[in-house]
Structure 1
Amino acid sequence: MEPLSVQRVRVLVDYYGLCLQDADDAWLPAMFPEGFAAGDFCTERPGRIDLTSAGHTQHVAVTAQVWEHEPQRLEGRWDKTATARIECRSGTLRLWSMAGPGLEDIELPSAPATWNVRLFCTGRQEAAAASRDGVPDGVEQYVVQFWPVEGAG
């Protein structure tokens, strides 16, 4: 089984925070960073998923995989993993940091509007150390798997 699409994007993280947020933000009760509090790793909110990075300021690499059905879990050693759901009415998820929206988006098929999400992260310890002395690029890496919620649309 192969993913429908694979996208690789980068985003600048600052103040340990980043999120995936519906590009159609008119319906959101709160836009990032409102309500964000650095936590363990992942917080699900309406139309967005907040993530706590291990490094204060850094460029992170995000690989987004869109699947037709639930994919197998990724093998290997991961520093953090999480599952969530996100409603995305626009079909576009925008990566955000505290400074604002990133330059690259993640495209999802427009329907269904609600997606299962599985998140994986590696390089956290190295990124935390490297961000004390500069702005690391691509040390902390994320893989995000999306697949439709059955019956959603």
Structure 2
Amino acid sequence: MATLLGEQKLDARVEFRGFGLQESDDSAVPVPFPDDFRWGVFLHQHVRRFDLFSAGHTHTASVTARVWDGVPDPGQEEWEEQAEIDYESVTGDVALWGSGRSEDLIRLGIPGLWRVRVRCVGRAEVERVTRDEGTAYGVERYVIDFWPKAG
């Protein structure tokens, strides 16, 4: 059973339905966010970066980032979207990008190859709220799990 090493709560300032996470050293990212953002793709992998396509146009999404020492149990919760990718970090720190770079970093602890699982709820509701009422705060919620990639 995997052990949780750290958990952080972050706000993602979503614009044009997107936000991204990338290596904190921007010079190590060949194509920085938002370049080559893929419209309609829930989780899109780039070199030292990954992007998320939100169901709402402009809002603040809630992000819980968790770092594990092994593959975490997926749990029994129902998710509207979920996907996994591989991710490489050269510093062990990941920056969150939305309408700009967040001051908070996700601290992986060590550089290396990681597996990332992204899950999301609140998509239908944030689509409705941003369409009918304007902006929303914390309606769309993401859980992003990082663990060292074996092999």
Normalising by the smaller structure, the TM-score range is: over 0.9
Unaligned runs of 5+ residues in structure 2 are none
Runs of 4+, deviation exceeding 2 Å: none
Question: How far 1:148 sits from its partner (Å)?
Answer: 0.2
Q: What is the aligned partner in structure 2 of residue 43 from structure 1?
A: 44
* Partner Cα distance (2:54, 2:76) in 1: 21
Q: Over aligned residue pairs, what C-alpha RMSD do you find?
A: 1.2
Equivalent positions of 1:65-76 (< 5 A) are 65-76=66-77
Q: What is the aligned partner in structure 2 of residue 128 from structure 1?
A: 127
1:79 and 1:123 in contact (8 A); partners too:
yes
Question: How far 1:144 sits from its partner (Å)?
Answer: 0.7
Counterpart amino acid of 1:17?
G
Could you tell me the TM-score, scaled by structure 2's length?
0.94
Q: Residue by residue, what CA displacement relative to the aligned partner does 1:17-42 show, whole Å, maximum 9, x if unpaired?
A: 10111101212211000100212301
2:116 and 2:144 in contact (8 A); partners too:
yes
* Partner Cα distance (1:51, 1:79) in 2: 14
1:10 and 1:104 in contact (8 A); partners too:
no
Could you tell me the TM-score, scaled by structure 1's length?
0.92
* Partner Cα distance (1:58, 1:104) in 2: 18
Aligned length: 149
SS at match of 1:4: strand
SS at match of 1:134: coil
More deviation in 127-136 or 116-125?
Answer: 127-136
Q: Residue by residue, what CA displacement relative to the aligned partner does 1:32-53 show, whole Å, maximum 9, x if unpaired?
A: 0010021230101000111100
